[in-house]
């Protein structure tokens, strides 16, 4: 593109799902319901973890932070999508788009790191049960959380600064319902070589790094479980990991679906649908996975509602 055609755009157009006007009412109700369930479910997990002394353990400390990250991840994209659907508008300002992209990278990365940290917690609990309280002490838990926040923030800041240096031409339509980093780079008229290199390197390190840690932790866990002779011991080890494994499977499968759909098809619909799974469905399902498969969480929620009922009466 000629340099003379470059300009500093003031807004972008989020195409999203706005091509089908007859579905607008249905989509608005669907996504609003899913968003409210996401907020309510994750808030209950956080409140139960804070108020119940039985859940004052490293596992639930990280779970409450995962719930907070899920709330923020959904809140980064869904409210703007709902406003656009309701107002039949596609517009998002340049500053709003950059802000949305930055927070999406931040909380998506935080989700990834917290899942890896929780896998390490499960590894210590099963493979080194006698030393669990010594290894997973409060200082280490806070340090792991702090490192997750710092690395995710630095990654988000790096990508945001690199996008700031890009120029955009007249084509400012983003074929998505939120400002995705990949789309922001693709739409630019500038040389995006540095952006693409940093994007792929950061993805390789900050996505596959934690995933490798999860695989390593569970390989050690499965090796330890294999030598357990009693069925009750095997069941206990499985029950400790089942919820986390389910969330990991859901998170990485939807993430892989977004990546594969963007490569396999030039059509925006498969990629947008896969992104809905990643940004809306997964944060909504996480609280249900942990509450339905975890006796401690179910017990804490029951005690929480009993206390609230007693206070109200």
What pLDDT is attached to residue 124? 94
Distance from the Cα of residue 105 to its chain's centroid: 9
Residue 149 lies in a domain: yes
Give tens-digit pLDDT for 104-148. Answer: 999 999 999 999 999 999 999 988 989 999 999 999 999 999 999
Residue 309 lies in a domain: no
Q: Indicate the range of 19-23, 204-208, 266-270, 298-302 predicted with least confidence.
A: 266-270
Computed over every residue of the chain, the mean pLDDT equals 84
pLDDT at 3 over 50: no
Distance from the Cα of residue 90 to its chain's centroid: 24
Assign residue 191 the CATH number of its domain: 1.20.1070.10
Mean pLDDT of 212-230: 86
**Residue ranges making up the domain that contains 105:** 8-298
pLDDT at 2 over 50: no
Confidence of residue 273 (pLDDT cuts 50, 70, 90): low
* pTM to 2 decimal places: 0.89
Residue 1 lies in a domain: no
Residue 306 lies in a domain: no
Q: How far apart are CA 158 and CA 78, in angstroms?
A: 24
Q: Indicate the range of 55-59, 88-92, 250-254, 290-294 predicted with least confidence.
A: 290-294
Give tens-digit pLDDT for 152-209. Answer: 999 999 999 999 999 888 768 887 888 989 888 988 888 899 999 999 899 889 889 9
> DSSP readout, 4-26?
GG-B--SEEEE-TTTT-GGGHHH
Q: In what order do the strands lie in the sheet containing 91-93? A: 91-93, 11-14, 173-174
- Per the structure, the count of domains in the chain is 1
Residue 143 lies in a domain: yes
Q: How far apart are CA 28 and CA 18, in angstroms?
A: 11
């Amino acid at each position: 593109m000629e340099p003379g055609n470059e300009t500093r755009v003031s807004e972008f157009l989020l195409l999203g799902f706005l091509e089908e006007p007859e579905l607008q009412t249905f989509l608005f109700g669907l996504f609003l319901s899913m968003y409210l369930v996401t907020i309510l479910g994750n808030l209950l997990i956080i409140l139960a973890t804070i108020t119940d002394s039985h859940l004052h353990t490293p596992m639930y400390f990280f779970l409450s932070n995962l719930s907070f990250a899920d709330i923020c991840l959904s809140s980064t994209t869904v409210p703007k999508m709902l406003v656009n659907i309701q107002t039949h508008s596609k517009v998002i300002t340049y500053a709003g788009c950059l802000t949305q992209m930055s927070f999406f990278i931040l909380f998506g990365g935080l989700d990834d790191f917290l899942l890896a940290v929780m896998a390490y917690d499960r590894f210590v609990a099963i493979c080194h049960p006698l030393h669990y309280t010594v290894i997973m002490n409060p200082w280490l838990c806070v340090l792991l959380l702090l490192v997750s926040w710092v690395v995710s923030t630095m990654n988000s800041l790096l990508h945001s600064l690199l996008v700031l240096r890009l120029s955009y031409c007249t084509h400012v339509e983003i074929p998505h319902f939120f400002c995705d980093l990949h789309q922001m780079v693709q739409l630019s008229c500038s040389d995006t070589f540095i952006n693409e290199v940093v994007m792929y390197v950061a993805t390789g390190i900050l996505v596959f790094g934690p995933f490798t840690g999860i695989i390593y932790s569970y390989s050690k866990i499965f090796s330890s479980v294999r030598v357990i002779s009693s069925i009750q011991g095997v069941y206990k080890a499985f029950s400790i990991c089942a919820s986390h494994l389910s969330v990991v499977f859901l998170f990485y499968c939807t993430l892989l679906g977004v990546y594969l759909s963007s490569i396999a098809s030039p059509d925006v619909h498969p990629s947008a649908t896969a992104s809905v799974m990643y940004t809306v469905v997964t944060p909504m399902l996480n609280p249900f996975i942990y509450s339905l498969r975890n006796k401690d969480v179910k017990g804490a929620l029951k005690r929480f509602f009993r206390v609230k009922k007693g206070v109200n009466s």
